[in-house]
Amino acid sequence: MAKTFRRVWLTLTAAAMALTLAGCGGSSASDADIALLVQGNLDQLYRGEVSADYEELTGVTSRQAAEICEASMAAETAFFCDYFRINSPSQQTTDQITALLKQICSGTTYQIGPVSREGEDSCAVQVELHPSAVLTRAVEALPDRLADFYAKYPPDADGDQAHYEADWAEAVIGAVRSQLSGAPSGEPVTATVHVDRNGDGAWAVRGEDLQAVNSAMLLYP
């Protein structure tokens, strides 16, 4: 099921984020343009903002970037709930998880590296990723955080399911929050992001490469 939500993330956000280079149809984009396109795609996903240069290049506004970020965070929140088995979360719980994920994303960094040409219609961009290990550490800390939960809900206990689900979600969120103050980064990794020119002459980032970057940036065990 978790893999399904990762595919949903790809469907929801990659199409929105694989934005074309304005004014470059029918001509080759420069290496600087290609690098800026990749930078802007990642800025939308993890920061919800774009630079003035990116806006001029693509026509994507800061408001649109924020909307794309919200869509990606909504899908990432759904994945988080599925991973931690948080069923039917309330709006308050959903908002808390989304806020946590935004905070985690704010601790990630990425640097755009060299652009290499792979023919006339494709480029490969090296991106150094500094991911977050908060979620991995939260899973490791979860057993200790669940002691009170299991004391309240022993296996043979009968109780209100809604309260059970709410308390479970609270325990998971607490485990994640407990790790936010630690060193947020995992080991740096290098990802290759491809940018291709389509039949109309427009350049776009490959959605599956954005998916791979996202999986590397938010580390689940």
Instruction: Report, as an integer, the average pLDDT of 68-92.
Output: 92
In the chain, the number of structural domains is 1
pLDDT of residue 12: 43
Q: Which two tokens stand for residue 121?
A: 């219609």
pLDDT of residue 22: 41
By C-alpha distance, which of 158, 203, 179 is closest to 33? Answer: 203
Place of tokens 């290609």: 34
Reported as a single tens digit per residue, the pLDDT across 20-44 is 444 344 456 889 999 999 999 899 8
Residue 7 pLDDT exceeds 70:
no
pLDDT of residue 27: 57
Q: Regarding predicted confidence, which is higher, 50 or 156?
A: 50
Contacts of residue 217, defined as CB under 8 A and 6 or more positions apart, other chains included, come to 46, 105, 108, 110, 129, 131, 132
Which helix (H) or strand (E) segment is 89 a member of? none
**Parent domain of 141:** 2-217
Q: What is the C-alpha separation between 207 and 14, in angstroms, rounded?
A: 5
pLDDT of residue 32: 93
Q: Which amino acid is at 206?
A: R
Reported as a single tens digit per residue, the pLDDT across 112-168 is 999 999 988 899 999 999 999 999 999 998 888 888 888 888 877 676 788 889 999
